């Protein structure tokens, strides 16, 4: 019976306390006898009243050593001071305990993405981009790459933090989550395309909502968008092989990057809707000024004559405006 078992455990604990107390007293008594012996030998050099007194104490200690030490048992413990005695047991975990548990798990799983070294590596690109919002953009960065882990495993290590990002980003104005890949993934467009597919497929397959957007058969249509945990993203990528004349040029950054930009951040920045029209000579809107800035820097990006096109085409850009990289079809 549970009650009987509990009593047996308590009696066992009491006996343990009793034995521990007995051992402690025996040691203390032995130390006392030894001290008396030392004092006696010291004082024996001169026969004095003190030496006789010490000899008498030593003799008494030897003759009357108790077989059992003074009992220090659980009987003498005041159980009313037991902090766990009658501690309330709940059928349902209290909300405050659940909150503490959630925080403990989160702190164990996530990393300090706001101060990730990945963001420092990305700084040259961020500072020199012609995007008007790039320099002040608030980003979170992925964990530093581990060479002993696969591409999928390195991606998986960031998913808990990415979930956290989707929850807190709207309230603190985060504008992107940045994944950094080693430079070997940027050795060619083909290799890079394969890596992007692997990363986004891994993220999508672990979507907490169960929506695996990368498995959507409509991926090549205008209605498809990359999403994770109910947040939709505009995805861009950068690699070292893009030349200075390309809008995805990385300005000397040796690593590869995949940037997930939540679409709600465009609304927070009050960026107007996409349009095929551009005021090239007299830019008025943010989109106009951005397009003109890229053009003037010698790396113009292609402006389509329609706003209805597959977003998947913009994730990995080809080497020229008319090349569509079918990265989502690359064999892994």
- The pLDDT tens digits of the residues spanning 96-133 come to 888 888 888 888 889 999 999 999 999 999 999 999 99
Q: Are 45 and 105 in contact (CB under 8 A)?
A: no
| Interval 318-329 mean pLDDT | 94
Q: How far apart are CA 141 and CA 315, in angstroms?
A: 18
Output DSSP code: residue 324: B
Q: Say which residues have a Cβ less than 8 Å from residue 172's Cβ, sequence separation at least 6.
A: 138
| pLDDT above 50 for 4 | no
Mean pLDDT taken over the chain: 84
Q: How far apart are CA 266 and CA 223, in angstroms?
A: 18
Q: Are 258 and 288 in contact (CB under 8 A)?
A: no
- The pLDDT tens digits of the residues spanning 244-282 come to 999 999 999 999 999 999 999 999 999 988 999 999 999
Number of H helices, E strands in the chain: 9, 5
For residue 254, what pLDDT is reported? Answer: 95
- For the chain, the domains span 2-81, 112-329
| Interval 75-82 mean pLDDT | 64
Q: What tokens appear for 56 in the block?
A: 């008498």
Lowest mean pLDDT segment, chosen from 40-49, 142-151, 233-242? 40-49
Q: What is the pTM of this model?
A: 0.73
């Amino acid at each position: 019976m549970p009650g009987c078992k509990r009593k047996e455990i308590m009696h066992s604990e009491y006996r343990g306390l009793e034995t521990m107390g007995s051992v402690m007293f025996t040691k203390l008594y032995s130390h006392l006898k030894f001290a008396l012996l030392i004092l006696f030998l010291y004082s024996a050099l001169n026969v004095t009243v003190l030496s006789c007194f010490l000899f008498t104490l030593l003799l008494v200690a030897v003759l009357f050593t108790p077989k059992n030490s003074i009992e220090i048992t659980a009987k003498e413990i005041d159980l009313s001071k037991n902090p766990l005695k009658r501690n309330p047991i709940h059928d349902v975990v209290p909300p405050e305990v659940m909150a503490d548990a959630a925080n403990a798990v989160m702190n164990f799983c996530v990393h300090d993405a706001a101060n990730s070294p990945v963001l420092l590596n990305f700084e040259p690109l961020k500072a020199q981009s012609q995007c008007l919002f790039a320099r002040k953009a608030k980003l979170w960065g992925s964990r530093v790459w581990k060479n002993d882990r696969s591409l999928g495993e390195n991606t998986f290590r960031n998913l808990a933090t990415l979930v956290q990002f989707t929850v807190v980003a709207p309230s603190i104005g985060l504008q992107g989550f940045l994944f950094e890949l080693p430079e070997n993934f940027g050795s060619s467009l083909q290799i890079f395309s394969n890596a992007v597919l692997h990363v986004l497929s891994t993220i999508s397959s672990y979507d907490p909502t169960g929506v695996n957007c990368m498995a959507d058969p409509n991926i090549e249509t205008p209605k498809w968008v990359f999403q994770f945990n109910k947040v939709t993203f505009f995805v861009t990528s950068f690699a070292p092989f893009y030349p200075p004349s390309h809008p995805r040029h990385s300005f000397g950054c040796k690593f590869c990057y995949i940037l997930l930009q939540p679409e709600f951040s465009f609304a927070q920045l009050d960026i107007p809707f996409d349009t095929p029209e551009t005021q090239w000579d007299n830019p008025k809107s943010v989109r106009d000024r951005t397009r003109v800035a890229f053009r003037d820097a010698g790396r113009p990006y292609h402006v389509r004559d329609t706003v209805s096109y597959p977003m998947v085409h913009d994730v990995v850009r080809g080497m020229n405006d008319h090349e569509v990289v079918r990265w989502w079809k690359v064999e892994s």
